[in-house]
């Protein structure tokens, strides 16, 4: 695997540990931010391989201080909240800031975000704003955070249930990808990250899409080349448009409706992963593409068949349907509350900032509810 260089930082997929030791050697204090899962499954191996001897830790627990996992029992299995997404808010940031103060963090400290997308997003946001900013490293431990969430400098938290409404753009000093950490992930979390690989393929690279169509299941042993290709594709876009003023909006494919779905689920404390919501959003936005560009039924059916291999249908009740439409009006990409979409001219070729009638959006959601 090749290491990937961006203007302000590198993404290490090879020789991670020697490069990590070089990156962290000159800081006054090292703080490792984790969630309960990365503490259990990743911290011990991380400390052994990194050879870090002097460090402090901050752990973001669930509300009961327990690990929120697919094996957690409940009287209503659909009422299990997302493991970490429910804590991606300003209250948790305040807890992290309090811990920074307690631990004596200063502008010469380093924060290592060891965890999934929530840890990287929120940890980076806290490091970028505490004392007007100190350095941080991403060490993403989920497929979603490795291929998408930790790359590109977007940091932030949810506000009043709305996705990523508060945040900043700030690059880490480096990112380290260690694919062995993926072995501890449940299949549902692998699917969540795989949705972003599909997004990069559909919007940027037909050859990657061709590889995906040859797959029948997600095989961890085959993921690292896909992770590398996905990161390279995103890097090429981010370099040309770091603050999402133009071409980077391509990467919002599936997210306008997807974030609307995710927000509706989060407000109800219903379980959904980011990738599940985005996969549903991509299907609906493919349908919008069909309407917009007059694609054939065969074109649409081929895409549906690929998604059906990996993503079960999610429930969109009438109540959630109506809330999704309202949530789309508050999407941060909007201009004057008018939603803007990225749509497929064809797989691997897109246009962005497209206005779509509300009637077509309703049709797309209903298509998913009846035909997927």
Q: What is the pLDDT of residues 159-203, one digit of tens each?
A: 998 889 999 999 999 999 999 999 999 999 999 999 999 999 999
147 plus 106 within the same structural domain: yes
192 plus 180 within the same structural domain: no
115 plus 92 within the same structural domain: yes
Q: How confident is the model at residue 86 (pLDDT cuts 50, 70, 90)?
A: confident
Among 71-80, 176-185, 352-361, the least confident range: 71-80
77 plus 31 within the same structural domain: yes
Q: How confident is the model at residue 332 (pLDDT cuts 50, 70, 90)?
A: confident
Of 45 and 77, the one with more pLDDT: 45
Residue whose tokens read 């924060």: 111
352 plus 243 within the same structural domain: yes
Q: What is the pLDDT of residues 117-153, one digit of tens each?
A: 999 999 999 999 999 999 999 999 999 999 987 788 9
Q: How confident is the model at residue 88 (pLDDT cuts 50, 70, 90)?
A: very high
110 plus 173 within the same structural domain: yes
25 plus 42 within the same structural domain: yes
- Structural domain total, the chain: 2
221 plus 179 within the same structural domain: no
pTM, whole model, 2 decimals?
0.90
Distances (CA, A) of 327 to 34, 62, 186, 286: 30, 26, 29, 20
Domain containing residue 175: CATH number: 3.40.50.1970
267 plus 147 within the same structural domain: no
70 plus 82 within the same structural domain: yes
Question: Which residue segment(s) compose the domain that 356 sits in?
Answer: 187-371
107 plus 208 within the same structural domain: no
161 plus 258 within the same structural domain: no
For position 64, what pLDDT does the model report?
53
Q: What is the pLDDT of residues 294-305, one digit of tens each?
A: 999 999 999 999
For position 70, what pLDDT does the model report?
37
């Amino acid at each position: 695997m090749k290491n990937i260089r961006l203007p302000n930082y590198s993404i290490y997929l090879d020789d991670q540990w020697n490069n990590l030791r070089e990156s962290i050697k000159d800081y006054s204090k090292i703080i490792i931010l984790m969630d309960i899962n990365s503490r259990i499954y990743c911290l011990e191996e991380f400390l052994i391989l990194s050879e870090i001897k002097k460090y402090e830790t901050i752990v973001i627990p669930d509300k009961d201080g327990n690990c929120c996992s697919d094996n957690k029992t409940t009287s209503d299995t659909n009422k299990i909240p997302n493991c970490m997404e429910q804590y991606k808010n300003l209250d948790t940031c305040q807890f992290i800031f309090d811990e920074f103060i307690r631990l004596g963090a200063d502008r010469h400290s380093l924060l290592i975000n060891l965890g999934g997308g929530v840890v990287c997003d929120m940890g980076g946001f806290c490091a970028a704003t505490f004392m007007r900013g100190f350095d941080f490293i991403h060490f993403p431990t989920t497929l979603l955070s490795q291929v998408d969430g930790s790359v590109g400098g977007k940091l932030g938290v949810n506000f009043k249930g709305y996705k990523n409404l508060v945040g900043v753009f700030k690059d880490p000093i480096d990112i380290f990808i260690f694919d062995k950490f993926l072995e501890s992930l449940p299949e549902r979390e692998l699917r969540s990250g795989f949705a972003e690989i599909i997004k990069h393929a559909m919007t940027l690279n037909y050859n990657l899409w061709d590889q995906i169509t040859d797959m029948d299941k997600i095989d961890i042993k085959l993921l690292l080349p896909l992770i590398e290709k996905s990161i390279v594709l995103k890097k090429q876009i981010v370099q040309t448009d770091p603050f999402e003023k133009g071409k980077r909006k391509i990467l919002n494919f599936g997210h306008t409706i997807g974030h609307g779905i995710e927000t509706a689920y989060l407000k109800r404390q219903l379980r959904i992963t980011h990738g599940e919501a985005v996969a549903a959003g991509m299907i609906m936005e493919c349908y919008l593409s069909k309407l917009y560009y007059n694609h054939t039924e065969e074109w649409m059916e081929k895409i549906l068949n690929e998604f059906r291999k990996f993503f079960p249908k999610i429930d969109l009740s009438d109540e959630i349907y109506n809330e999704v439409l309202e949530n789309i009006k508050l999407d941060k990409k909007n201009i004057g509350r008018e939603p803007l979409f990225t749509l497929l001219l064809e797989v691997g070729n897109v246009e962005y900032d497209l206005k779509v009638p509300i009637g077509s959006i309703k049709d797309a959601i209903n298509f998913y509810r009846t035909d997927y």
